[in-house]
Amino acid sequence: MGGRVKLESLTSLRFVAAFWVVLYHTMPQTGRSGFGIDLTKLGYSAVTLFFMLSGFILMFVYRRFDSRAAITRFLVARIARIYPMFALSLLIDLPRLALFRIAKYGLVIGAGYSGVTLAAQLSLLQSWYPPIGALNYPSWSVSTELFFYLAFPFLLPLVARVRAIGAIVAAMVALWAVLVANGILLDDHIAYGVGDLWRNPALRLPEFMLGMLLTQLIVRDGRLVTTPPILALPALASIGAIALLIHDLDGRIAEVLLLPGFALLIAVLASASGPLARITQHRSAVLLGEASYALYLLHAPFSIFYDALGVAGLPGAYFGYLAVTIAASIAAHLWFERPMRVWIVTWWDQRSAARSPSPLAPVSQPAG
């Protein structure tokens, strides 16, 4: 598809989203106030941006599947993308959980309990049953993302049929209305357990589908429709307005109200050109975006190590934490995440090729 390289700008956006989550989870806020703090408090909504981005990019790249083998290849590639780094992040966080439980329950029960939790969470079912997600708490979204990948081959032909602009816009408005209704019914004031339904993949699916429909809206005849860069201003303004109103709005409502701004921002960056493209497609910005998944998964375990060092009150300590975490995420991406993804996909392709009969092989004849 023409213009695919322009999605590098969206890769850079992934770093911004991941860094927003990092600030939300780790930035010291005691005794501080102001717009910057209010904006940081919205960092949890970057997960919604990730889900929409995922739907947009997958719909942009995979326009159709020609066979079951193609669907299987897609799923293998997606699992290779998310699972190695996810598993590594759990292992990094495991000593923290094990030490806590050993101190509470004793060596045998504490170690065994931690092992069971690790095995359960490696199943990627924690967004369906949150109590098993005691390791690396932000990783619940990986479980939800996996559900999107499994649903995508079924959603693709349905969304692809929606081509008229009016129908696409109507479908997007309907999905957004569903999310607003969910935000009203499942706000942060509902008891623990019920409120965790917001992690449920089925309830987050409209965010992913909005991204898919956004692709249908701005990709016409196989090419991206250019969205004027000036429209990034109202997108950013809407995010800022929600940040200013966050004290008067429930957190989940604020999150879904950001979706139109996120959609506009994705549309602008997808067709970025000129100075905007030079900034967002710069090699360093793209590298940070490629390492954003590692950053997302490593920032919480690294934050626990940072707190354990007892240096939180020292000048510049937090910036040191950010620098170390970003550097570690780049290293993990380059030397673990990317090689593992290539290895898994290559292994699958070789396995599939070995199982498929060569078209040049002679047909065996019956004996006699």
DSSP per position, 254-296: HHHHTHHHHHHHHHHHHT--HHHHHHHTSHHHHHHHHTHHHHH
Q: CA 19, CA 21: separation in Å to the nearest integer?
A: 5
Q: Which residues of the chain have pLDDT under 50?
A: 1-5, 189, 191-195, 361-368
Q: Cα 8 vs. chain centroid, distance in angstroms?
A: 16
- 32 burial level (CB within 10 Å; 0-12, 13-18, 19+): exposed
DSSP 8-state class, residue 246: G
Secondary structure class of 82 (helix, strand, coil): helix
Check if the beta carbon of residue 321 is closer than 8 Å to that of residue 298.
no
User: Which pLDDT score is estimated for 249?
Assistant: 65
Q: For residue 4, what pLDDT is reported?
A: 42
Two tokens, residue 106: 């004793």
Tell me, what's the pLDDT at 184?
A: 79
CA pair distance 278, 51, nearest whole angstrom: 25
In this prediction, residue 2 carries a pLDDT of: 40
Radius of gyration, alpha carbons of the chain = 22
- The residue assigned the tokens 């911004």 is 16
Phi, psi (deg, nearest 5) at residue 224: -70, 135
Picking from 139, 152, 6, 2, the residue whose alpha carbon sits closest to that of residue 73 is 152
User: Where along the chain do its domains lie?
Assistant: 4-349
Contact (CB, 8 A) for 208 and 141:
no
Tokens of 320: 């040191």
218: Cβ contacts below 8 Å, ≥ 6 apart: 224, 225, 227, 267, 270, 271
Structure tokens at 179: 């999310």
| Helices 46-61 and 201-218: angle between axes, nearest 10 degrees | 50
Give pLDDT, residue 253.
82
Residue type, 281: Q
